[in-house]
Amino acid sequence: MLNTANTDKIQPNILWIITDDHRPDSVSAYNKAIYGQSDSPLGYIESPNADQLAEEGVLFTQAFTNSPVCAPSRAALHSGRYPFRTGRFAFELSHPGPDFSKPLLSEYLKGAGYYTAMFGKEDHYFMQWGPGQSFNKLPLFDFRVHFKHDLQNHGIGDIYTRASYGDEPGNSTPIGYSEYVNYPDGTSRSYLIKSKEGEVSEQDLQLRSKTDEEFDILRSYTRSNPNLIIGGVNPNTATETIDAKVVRELRNHLENAKQTYSTLSGKPAEGADSDKPLFVNLGFHLPHTPVLPPKSVRDRFKTKEYKVPKFELSEVEKLPLQLQKMYHATKITGMTDAEVQQAIQDYYAFTAHGDELIGEAVDVFKAYSKKQGRPWVVVYTVGDHGWHLGEQGIEAKFGPWQQSVANAAIITASDKSLVPRGLVNHDLVEFVDFAPTILDLAGVDIKQERFNHLDGYSLLDVAAGEAPKREYILGETNVVVGSRAYLHSKRFRFSMRTRPPGAATGERMRWALDADANDVDMALYDLAVDPLERQNVADTEAYRPLALWLRNKLGNIVLGDGRIEVDWSQENSYVESNFAEGADDKRLDIPKDLIPSVPQNVATNK
């Protein structure tokens, strides 16, 4: 009998697709909704499968990540809670030991009768606390195939980097990092690219040069990590890339429902439980570095000329010191024009490869649902955060700017009474909205008291105009240059340093509100006159009062309205800060005298 949980309707199968480092302007449907054209403002793109999903359902054009870094972003996606309320700001090895912990999305869905499976990238960094202060992997899903642990660690992949432990038996201390190259015939080779002892050997350098020449590799030699591959051709064909094999694992699992089969690594597995509704988290690694589109796709992009985003070094001088450090750690400035063109071409080619794979995965999922006689839902999160291709002079994420934090989302369903067709929504939505949305789609009553901890809204309510009004989005991370939070509205983008360097867990929690304003490294952009965020006006006479007001608003929210800071090495060691409880009221209400008027016929940086 079909499980109907808290609804009279049959629970739908749910496919949740999440890509990585993915700009929304790689989707034509998004560009048409925002720019009135199919291509990105930078140039040519391909996205027929994402466009089809948008045509079938609802496109959310203003979906913002709550952290521009993989792990804390995905923690917010799966928990429905802001980073400052989970203590997840970077790559912490977290666990459910603290009293404030709540179940994650997949755990709630299990309780609602779902069979849950994950394929590809997950990166919750979420472990089960065990006796003796030990960690064990928490079974967040009934079935799991991870792109790194289950594929790359078994020699399945393209070109990738992982820790190297040398040849000494039993050595558990990494000696550095090695790069692995996997060929279509199953052969591979590796070489050290970074040594903890200093320089790598001449032999390793020669092997790396061989890779660079053979696959037209472009590395990020202008930034702090010069080994990142930001362009090149994949050693494997379009059907054999690691992301293609992630989709193959999904296909094999669904086509072998309730049967024993072997995964690509040779591990015996039991196919999906077709007696239950299905929830799949499909996490693509692309277009994350290494950016390696297969040749068949790359060839279509090599002849395209892209518009390089405008940038001048004078923009860096107007940034606070923290963001100046961000620029120098991630800059693309210094590359040749040809190299910048390659970086953009290969990035969009890689997103086009991803679109092909998304089409395949959706077809497999729909076929399984049809065979099962069950309705289906597809939720597509276009990127766990964004990626700069020269904006702000960088090629990276991590920042508080549009290209780091602004994404898009698409939801479509076989039941058009559940998800309408061909709707475009421009409301501000956040990644904390995805967990309550998927629970809502699964027929779980999220208005129950046990879900009061969720920070987000159901996107079904947003699309129907029934969700509470949200006038800003929030986010925070502490990666690369230290702790920094951001607050974005439709007109203003504001960010600031939140924690003093070296502060212990829970120490000096009010620092960002009480310190000298210059120490807080504020940045403010007025999108009405500077839509590309090229001129920080936080220190200008006209905008300084507004920056100070936003500092107080954002600081009270992320530091004093349920902030959690955790010592994850212990079971229940954390500090909670509530000196401004209720500050996150979703409203700005900026005093009118603080908002500078926009001159008529103002020239923007478009």
- Tell me: the pLDDT tens digits for 455-468? 999 999 999 999 99
User: pLDDT tens digits for 497-507?
Assistant: 999 988 999 99
* 2 has pLDDT over 80: no
* 131 has pLDDT over 70: no
Can you give the pLDDT at residue 173? 76
What is the residue-averaged pLDDT of the chain?
Answer: 94
Cα Rg, the chain, nearest whole Å: 24
Among 126-140, 147-161, 301-315, 591-605, whose mean pLDDT is lowest?
126-140
User: pLDDT tens digits for 81-120?
Assistant: 999 999 999 998 888 889 999 999 999 999 999 999 999 9
Can you give the pLDDT at residue 552? 98
Can you give the pLDDT at residue 423? 97
Can you give the pLDDT at residue 384? 97
* 128 has pLDDT over 80: no
Among 169-173, 321-325, 581-585, whose mean pLDDT is lowest?
169-173
Can you give the pLDDT at residue 600? 63
Nearest to 587 by CA among 553, 543, 552: 553
* 193 has pLDDT over 70: yes
Structure tokens at 464: 């129907």
* 3 has pLDDT over 50: no
User: pLDDT tens digits for 353-411?
Assistant: 999 999 999 999 999 999 999 999 999 999 999 999 999 999 999 999 999 999 999 99
* 8 has pLDDT over 70: no
* 588 has pLDDT over 50: yes
Can you give the pLDDT at residue 602? 53
Are 15 and 413 in contact by the 8 Å Cβ rule? The answer is: no
Portion of the chain with pLDDT greater than 70, in percent: 95
Can you give the pLDDT at residue 139? 80
DSSP 147: I
Among 195-204, 268-277, 417-426, 541-550, whose mean pLDDT is lowest?
195-204
Among 167-176, 254-263, 421-430, 522-531, whose mean pLDDT is lowest?
167-176
* 306 has pLDDT over 50: yes
Buried b (16+ CB within 10 A) or exposed e, 48-59: ebbbbbbebbbb
Can you give the pLDDT at residue 216? 98
List, in order, residues 6 or more apart from 148 with CB less than 8 Å away.
Answer: 121, 160, 162
Among 95-99, 195-199, 219-223, whose mean pLDDT is lowest?
195-199
Q: How confident is the model at residue 5 (pLDDT cuts 50, 70, 90)?
A: very low
Q: How confident is the model at residue 599 (pLDDT cuts 50, 70, 90)?
A: confident
* 69 has pLDDT over 70: yes
207-230: average pLDDT: 97
Q: How confident is the model at residue 165 (pLDDT cuts 50, 70, 90)?
A: confident
* 22 has pLDDT over 50: yes
60-88: average pLDDT: 96
Q: What is the 3-state secondary structure (H, E, C) of 275-317?
A: CCCEEEEEECCCCCCCCCCCHHHHHHHCCCCCCCCCCCHHHHH
Can you give the pLDDT at residue 93? 86
DSSP 224: S
Nearest to 85 by CA among 570, 557, 585: 557
**What distance in Å separates the CA atoms of residue 25 and residue 47, rounded to the nearest whole number?**
10
Q: Domain ranges in the chain?
A: 473-594
Can you give the pLDDT at residue 169? 62
DSSP 436: H
Alpha carbon separation from 538 to 9, 130, 318, 529 (Å, rounded): 52, 47, 9, 14
Identify the residue whose tokens are 């990035």: 347
Can you give the pLDDT at residue 67? 97
* 125 has pLDDT over 90: no
C-alpha distance across the termini of the chain, in Å:
57
